[in-house]
Amino acid sequence: MRIALLLLALASASRWPSVSVQMVTYKRPKLLLEARWRGRGSIKDVRYIYLPERMSIGAKRNLATRSTDAEVLVIWDDDDVFTRDRIRKQVLHLLRSEDVNCSGIEVSSFYSVPSKELTVRPAGLEPLVFENTLCFTRSWWEGNGYGFGEAWEVSGQGEGTLEPWWTQVQPLLGKDEPFLYIYLPSSASGGSAVNKDRRPPPQPALAALVAALQSGRFPDEVTSPHISGVLKGARDELEELLDCDGLMQISRVASNEPFETPVRRYPPAAPDVVAEAYPDSGKPIPREGAVFTPCAK
């Protein structure tokens, strides 16, 4: 996660509740230094919190939430690549329904940095949601006993699925909000992607990912090695997958998207195209406060 990427996401929102974006990281100095370098002078109230001793990831997320008075909290891992409008869409998800107090995003696309492989989770399965996609209200967090489990036995295990409040998480589906879940050598998974189906059947989530890459919803202008490498790798992988027999049916899965012919390359969207797609980007943005805790998981 780079601060430049957060700025792009925040800039797509109009005047909404105050928002705090939090990120925890541990032993990934390149990603942390990249975030700090790109964020110098960008957001005046960014806070960096260093902890001299280890804490569980749940304890750190609770600490980050307590350190701000923002009405809405967003979790953002240091390596995942979201669309530029992620924050706006999730805050809207909270505002449009009294039944949604914690929004998540279905994890449907996985990209392994070590193997440069993209995989898409099969359609028809129960939506998979991880903690790094959560966006929730402060009142919900307080009402659940200050949120995240802090015991080492449960913190981070199953990406929050062991918590009693997990059934309250309402996900945006992958077909509506695509993003790239990243595997690194330091990931708990060991950096290896799952569901390695090299010939996935046509499905809405795959169509949405292609459309998002085509239309400039991902931050191609952020030239950091991690983000640019992931987006290039994802495009190369999609090109290979789309050349497989039968995958061109995907154009009929998402008929409302401009995806009608086989795609060989996905060039970054021009700035004027992005501006036209997101005309509200110049309006006032939420009062934000990003909290970074470079300490142990």
The DSSP letter of residue 248 is G
Q: Which CATH number fits domain 3-112+120-196+278-294: 3.40.50, 3.90.550, 3.30.1050, 3.30.1360?
A: 3.90.550
The DSSP letter of residue 22 is E
The candidate with the shortest Cα–Cα distance to 184, out of 267, 80, 104, 297, is 80
Residue 243 has what pLDDT?
A: 66
Residue 219 has what pLDDT?
A: 80
Regions of the chain where pLDDT drops below 50: 1-2, 5, 12-14, 39-40, 158, 190-193, 244-297
The full DSSP string for 157-208 is: GGGGTTSTTGGG-EEEPTTTS--BEEE-TTSTT-S--S---SSPPP-HHHHH
Taking the CA atoms of 148, 152, 155 and 158 in sequence, report the sign of the dihedral they define: negative
Question: Whole-prediction pTM value?
Answer: 0.71
Residue 249 has what pLDDT?
A: 36
